[in-house]
């Protein structure tokens, strides 16, 4: 979501990642990339939660952390806690 509302965001996988991703999609029998991404996020939910909680920068909740790592972990942790995005 952007300030102008919903926005279609597309991903461009690298030449190294694309074949692996599409092979996985074929193995799973999905016809849409979004289904494959949803499957990947579902299967990695505990690793994502563990990563966000094990961050060395814990100040994201107080908005005192300025690194991109903390910003990413802060957004991820808020999504997990508030919206149960990955649960």
The per-residue pLDDT for range 22-61, each reduced to its tens digit, is 999 999 999 999 999 999 999 999 998 888 888 654 545 5
How much is the average pLDDT of 7-24? 90
Domain ranges of the chain: 13-41, 44-87
Buried b (16+ CB within 10 A) or exposed e, 27-56: eeeeeeeeebeeeeeeeeeeebbeebeebe
Which carries the bigger pLDDT value, residue 25 or residue 87?
25
CA 29/CA 77 separation, integer angstroms: 31
How does the average pLDDT of the chain come out, rounded? Answer: 75
Taking the whole predicted model, whether its pTM rises above 0.95 is answered as: no
Residue 2 sits at φ, ψ, to 5 deg, of: -115, 180
Which carries the bigger pLDDT value, residue 54 or residue 16?
16
């Amino acid at each position: 979501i952007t300030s102008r509302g919903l926005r279609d965001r597309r991903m461009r996988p690298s030449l190294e990642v694309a074949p692996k991703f599409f092979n996985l999609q074929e193995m799973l029998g999905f016809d849409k990339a979004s289904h494959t991404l949803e499957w990947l996020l579902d299967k990695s939910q505990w690793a994502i939660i563990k990563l966000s909680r094990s961050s060395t920068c814990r100040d994201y909740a107080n908005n005192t952390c300025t690194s991109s790592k903390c910003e990413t972990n802060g957004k991820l942790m808020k999504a997990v806690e508030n919206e149960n995005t990955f649960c």
